[in-house]
Amino acid sequence: MPRRVFVTGMGIVSGLGIGLEETLSSLKNSRSGIGKIKYLDTVHDLPCAEVPLSEMEMKHLLDIPADKIVTRTALMAILAAKEALQNSRFPVKEGYRIAFINGTTVGGMEKSELYYFDFLENDTRNDYIEAHDCGSLTETIADYFGAFSYVSTPSTACSSAANAIVLGMNLIENRLVDAAVVGGSECITKFHLNGFNSLMILDKEPCRPFDATRAGLNLGEGAAFLVLEPEELCSQRGVEPLCRVSGYGNACDAYHQTASSPEGKGAALAMKKALEMSGIDSYSVNYINAHGTGTSNNDESEGRAIMSVFGDHIPPVSSTKGLTGHTTSAAGGVEAVISILAMLYRFIPANVNFRNQMPELSFSPVAEMVENVDLKHVLSNSFGFGGNNTSVIFSKE
């Protein structure tokens, strides 16, 4: 009998704001974090959703000395993980085996690209070399807390944070750890801003997920973590969980390095696997927080996949990337928090900027925020380049 695993705390920083309260307020007011780039030093004038804090400000919030070598991604992640741990009131110093799983792709790259030529030509920035690696980022965050007996860094592009949730679940289910802090972190870099731009999938305007006239995605940045604990530990600690992770699935689309198959094979497989594991049928899903990047390809592919899994009973669907931007490796974490907030506060966040029905799809997304809804089961999708598709289901109990 598999262990039942619950979410007992969460934390988030993103274009929606710092912390759960600001995030909830932004969601309920459909206040988008997408706007002009303020912190990244780039020639491009593309709409992005940056975390509304400079590194100095983040260091100040965390009592980290201004001259300490820490990357932007690490600072975001520490803020989010700190909130998650505080939120869960998990007794970190009492000898429990806790895992820290952080999905990321850029790691400390926003510094490496800034100091790349210094690395080659002089020794003035060498301290940042070590900070580059993804694994190094995870360790830096873990070191801040000094509480983790196991750390790991899944790196599967835009499904990284969702896969971090899956790995955390696996570790707890197999009794290898007592609890896990799972999620992802990513800051915007010139590297991937230019990369996505060269693929011509960035919209020069705020993105329009699931809209027939959609023209691409907007990049976002952020960090978000969940604290996962098995049922026995929750009872033992007398803590009221926020929700349960009832199912998850990962499948490969096996179609193209970066594009999704037209019928969304991998996406459909991932959703089906998650449903199977959770033991609920497709009629029981009350809301889908879609991957919905706003690219021509994803939204059609994911839309078709949703149709194939849910047939004539498609639940309300919305993509919140019109509010947060596409936070890439952190998306699975950011959107997990959004999904859980939706469940706890009984609302469906808006799929903003939607106006025109996609002719290929039998459903339209939820264009305006809806309140007073009873969400028992929420499905969250995160699909990464390489055809790496993950779906996670959060349930009230």
Partner 1 sequence: MDELVLKLKEEIIEVLNLEEVKPEDIDDNAPLFGDGLGLDSIDALELIVLMEKNYGIKLQDANQGKEIFKSINTMADYIAKNRKK
Partner 2 sequence: MMELFISKYCVLNNRQLSVNGEMVYENREGATDSEFLSAAYRRFGMGYPKFFKMDHLSKTGFIVTEMLLKDTALFGVEPKRETAVVFSNRNSSLDTDENYQETIGKDYFPSPSVFVYTLPNIVMGEVCIKHKIFGENTFFVSDELEVEHIFTYVNQLFEQTETENALVGWVDYYDGKAEALVWLVEKQKGIKLFNITELYNLKSFL
Q: Which is nearer to partner 1, 198 or 372 (CB)?
A: 198
Q: Give 43 or 66: the residue with its C-beta nearer to partner 1.
A: 43
Q: Shortest approach of partner 2 to residue 346 CB, angstroms?
A: 32
Query: How many whole angstroms separate alpha carbon 337 and alpha carbon 351?
Result: 16
Nearer Cβ to partner 2 (189/364): 189
CB of 342 to partner 2, least distance (A): 27
Least distance to partner 2 from the beta carbon of 372, Å? 37
CA–CA distance, 299 with 88 (Å, rounded to integer):
35
CA 72/CA 56 separation, integer angstroms: 10
Structure tokens at 7: 């979410």
Judged by CB, which is closer to partner 1: 238, or 359? 359
Bridge partners, residue 101, by sequence = 152, 182
Of 33, 141, 384, 392, the residue at the interface with partner 2 (CB under 8 A) is 384
Cα 318 to Cα 161, 176, 374: the distances in Å are 19, 36, 16
Q: Candidates 10, 76, 134, 187: give the one binding partner 2 (CB under 8 A).
A: 134
Torsion angle in degrees (nearest 10) through CA of 283, 393, 185, 261: -50
Please identify, using beta-carbon distances, which residue of 196 and 310 lies nearer to partner 1. 196
Minimum distance of partner 1 from residue 201's CB (angstroms): 9
Select the span of 80-88, 146-154, 349-357, 370-378 touching partner 2 (CB under 8 A).
146-154
Interface with partner 2 includes 208 (CB under 8 A)?
Answer: no
> Could you tell me which residues come within 8 angstroms of residue 245 by beta carbon, excluding any fewer than 6 positions away?
5, 6, 7, 165, 169, 228, 392, 393, 394, 395
Segment near partner 2 (CB under 8 A), from 167-175, 203-211, 315-323, 361-369?
167-175
Sign of CA pseudo-dihedral 324, 329, 331, 334: negative
Query: d(Cα 249, Cα 360) in Å, to the nearest integer?
Result: 26
Residue 348's beta-bridge partner residues? Answer: 370
Q: Which of 293, 276, 304, 375 is nearest to 335 (CA)?
A: 293
Determine which residue in the list 197, 296, 308, 362 makes contact with partner 2, applying CB under 8 A: 197
Smallest gap from Cβ 216 to partner 1, in A, equals 10
Counting Cα atoms < 13 Å in the Cβ hemisphere of 52 gives 14
Q: Among 50, 221, 253, 300, indicate the residue that binds partner 2 (CB under 8 A).
A: 253
Smaller CB distance to partner 2: residue 142 or 348? 142
Cβ burial, residue 396 (10 Å; 0-12/13-18/19+): middle
Among positions 190-229, residues that touch partner 1 (CB under 8 A) are 198-200
Which residues between 14 and 33 bind partner 2 (CB under 8 A)?
none
Which residue, 85, 345, 342, 21, is CA-closest to 226?
85
Interface with partner 1 in residues 228-267 (CB under 8 A): 256-259
Q: Token pair for residue 45?
A: 């004038």
Does position 152 bind partner 2 by CB under 8 A? yes
Q: Which does 56 bind (CB under 5 to 8 A by kind): partner 2, partner 1, none?
A: none
Q: Shortest approach of partner 1 to residue 200 CB, angstroms?
A: 4
| Interface with partner 2 (CB under 8 A), residue from 135, 145, 345, 396 | 135
Task: Among 244, 387, 392, 393, indicate the residue that binds partner 2 (CB under 8 A).
Answer: 387
CA distance 48 to 46: 6
Kindly state the number of chain residues that form the binding site for partner 1, as judged by CB under 8 A: 7
- 4 vs 190 by CB, closer to partner 2: 190
Would you state the structure tokens that stand for residue 54, as one six-digit string?
């400079």
Helices (H), 31-108: 55-62, 72-88
| Residue 226 near residue 181, CB atoms below 8 Å | yes
- Kindly state whether residue 130 participates in binding partner 2, applying the rule CB under 8 A: no
Name the residues that contact partner 2, by CB under 8 A: 2, 105, 109, 113, 116, 133-135, 152-157, 163, 167, 170, 173-174, 176, 190-192, 194-200, 250-258, 265-266, 269, 273, 384-388
**Which residues of the chain form contacts with partner 1 (CB under 8 A)?**
198-200, 256-259
